[in-house]
Amino acid sequence: MKDTFQHVPPGFVAVPCGILDVAGNEKAVVVTKMCLFDRRFDGPHMQDTFYNFLRAWPLLAGRLRKGSGRLGELWSTLVPTRDKLEELIQADRRGHFVFKSAVPMFSYAERQHESLFDVVPLASLAQNPERLSQESPTIATVDRESMLRELTSPHGVKRMGEYFTRDASIFTAHVSNFADGAAFTFTAPHACFDGAGAKAALDAYLHMLKGEPIGPIVQAGYDPFLPFVPSAMPPSSPSSSSSSSAISEKPSAVSSEPEPSPSSCLPLYRPASSSARYPPPPPQPKHWRIFSLMHLLVLCFYIARDYLFDRPESKMSRVLIYVPPKFAAGLKEQVVSQIKADHGAEKLQELRVSRGNALHAWVLQNELARRVEVRPNRLTTHLTVSNMRYRLPAGLSSIDPTFTGNCIVPIVAPVTTTKELAAKSLGAVAYDVRTALLQQCTPTEMERYVRWQAWRGTPRALGGGLEQTGMAALFPCRARITLVTDWSKFGLWDLDWSGAVAGGSGAAAAARHRQKGRKVGSTSSVSVAVSAGGKDIEEEHEHEHEQDDHERDLDHSAPKEGADSSSTITAAAPSPAEKCGMLMIVADAHVPLHQRNGWVMIGGRDGACWILGGMSDEERRHPRGWGRYADAVLAAEA
């Protein structure tokens, strides 16, 4: 135990992070999403409901901690007991955070004498899209530091390392109320949430804001990928018990002690006897590689060269690109036409290319216009991600819809040189994106990926390779990578914010519930059993009724493979968020490399799409790249 988790303070129980939460390199990312509205919020109602939300889903009030000793990569979440959570909520209400290590779980700023559009000029672009060209994209520069300063708590987490040293919950919210609008911001470590998980948490909170009941969060310690965890074999075990075993079976016990169930909060570390034998490593997934020390040095060299010479930080800008619906539709038509000409109508029907694939290819082509002139022979590739909530690995029948942890699988296109990639047509690049998704997202390939990552995240004493492997990557150490992710598919514009809007019907309904003495939260209790030091501790957290079975069906909420994944691009009618006055969503990842080499498609009002990324001054002015598109004139500059 001492080699697994740090000391667990009174009032908390340690819950291991999920297998994929700490296996990928995205675990170093802190994600902040800022939602801007042209209507004011009911701040006190949002605060009261947020605390009730934490009472219903106490895992979100947990504190992230690293392991200790040899197993520092085994992270855990310290979940507060019911009494401890009440203590934390009362301290949060008092709001005394200056010069303290505590981070507010919910913070609220009343700025009724300031205009949202003065504080965040970008909001005026989303409110008045007629100011932007509807024929071609428009590029706006984002003052990242200013937005984070204005729309997040001054006492909030700014970098990943703070989660391990400060008293910060893994899901925090900040509300800013302006004279003519409002902003809602939530911050979370990627090690505890993926995009779909964060959306599930936000959706539950918004339901409570409307006075509606929500189901309980999945039991603490649940990890859908536990069946893939390897185990050391006792001396008497047959050697055939290896990675080829049936996935549905639980790992073999190292001793006569009962094996913890997938829903247990027991740490996964238990020393094996010295005579125990270890199963061979599972097959390494295609495209993945382990970096040696020399590989890491080469990688650092190329990163430093990019920072110092190719794209100095002083010449980099954070940008938000507005893509009008007509232009996005034209990109897809161009891609479809080229793929049909190159591969035939039958192949086109099989691929079912989406607008997201077309936008991915378009972003890459604009980025390559400058890169091909600087280092044409450098290896290069591009990545995207898939989510196993929608494409299950072999042997896994379902994933609980309230599981907020990581289920993402990185997808990589073929590695080539910059000049070869730049020579490809838009359709050819989109074809590579789509075929990579289809080939690497088969149930068999995803099972191989999960099993291998589970082995890499399991201590050697349990038959894993945690202490034996280094950094895993999908690209050669000499390659330049570009990551393009589509957050619009999570349906953030389909969420109903009416319960947050001041004077909204949802807030009124919740007020009626309070007047009747009803708690907007749980109506039944679920017992969470944990074990610490050999002693069972049971803490009952109140929850609401269980979700219906059909709500747990993944196909119920998942977009069809290849389909345009969100109403944020395809819908003609206003989305629920638009009806509540949402103007735009701005996402931020607190990792420099992600800001330089990453692009995020977020979606927007009236079927438009906003794409957030970074580019250098030279890339911005290139006549065959981003230089073809106009600059946005912000209200403060007009």
388-443 pLDDT per residue, tens: 998 999 999 999 999 999 999 999 999 999 999 999 999 999 999 999 999 999 99
* Residue 627: per-residue pLDDT: 96
* Residue 430: per-residue pLDDT: 98
The 3-state DSSP class for residue 48 equals helix
Position 520 pLDDT exceeds 80: no
Residue 359 half-sphere exposure toward CB, CA atoms < 13 A: 33
Higher-confidence position of 438 and 503: 438
Among 188, 207, 282, residue whose Cα is nearest residue 49: 207
C-alpha to C-alpha distance for 47 and 42, rounded to whole angstroms: 9
C-alpha to C-alpha distance for 142 and 543, rounded to whole angstroms: 41
Q: Out of 63-77, 122-136, 431-445, 519-533, which region has the weakest mean confidence (pLDDT)?
A: 519-533
329-378 pLDDT per residue, tens: 999 999 999 999 999 999 999 999 999 999 999 999 999 999 999 999 99
Mean pLDDT score of the chain: 81
Give 573's pLDDT tier (boundaries 50, 70, 90).
confident
Position 558 pLDDT exceeds 90: no
Q: Which residue has the tokens 């002139």?
A: 373
Average pLDDT rounded to a whole number, residues 259-288: 58
Average pLDDT rounded to a whole number, residues 9-14: 93
18-44 pLDDT per residue, tens: 988 888 878 889 999 999 999 999 999
* Residue 437: per-residue pLDDT: 95
Position 455 pLDDT exceeds 50: yes
Residue 230 tokens read as 């390897």
Position 492 pLDDT exceeds 80: yes
Position 557 pLDDT exceeds 80: no
User: Which of 45-59, 123-137, 283-297, 532-546 has maximum average pLDDT?
Assistant: 45-59
Backbone angles phi, psi at 165, to 5 degrees: -115, -20
Higher-confidence position of 456 and 413: 413
> Is residue 129 within 8 Å of residue 605, measured between CB atoms?
yes
User: First CA to last CA across the chain, in angstroms?
Assistant: 61
* Residue 539: per-residue pLDDT: 35
> Is residue 63 within 8 Å of residue 9, measured between CB atoms?
no
94-121 pLDDT per residue, tens: 987 766 789 999 999 999 999 999 999 9
Average pLDDT rounded to a whole number, residues 46-53: 98
Q: pTM higher than 0.95, yes or no?
A: no
364, containing H or E segment: helix 355-374
Higher-confidence position of 564 and 302: 302
User: Structural domains in the chain?
Assistant: 327-486 (3.30.559.10)
Three-class DSSP labels, 462-526: HCCCCCCCCCEECCCCCCEEEEEEEHHHHCHHHCCCCCCECCCHHHHHHHHHHHCCCCCCCCEEE
Give 258's pLDDT tier (boundaries 50, 70, 90).
very low
Position 576 pLDDT exceeds 80: yes
Higher-confidence position of 115 and 516: 115
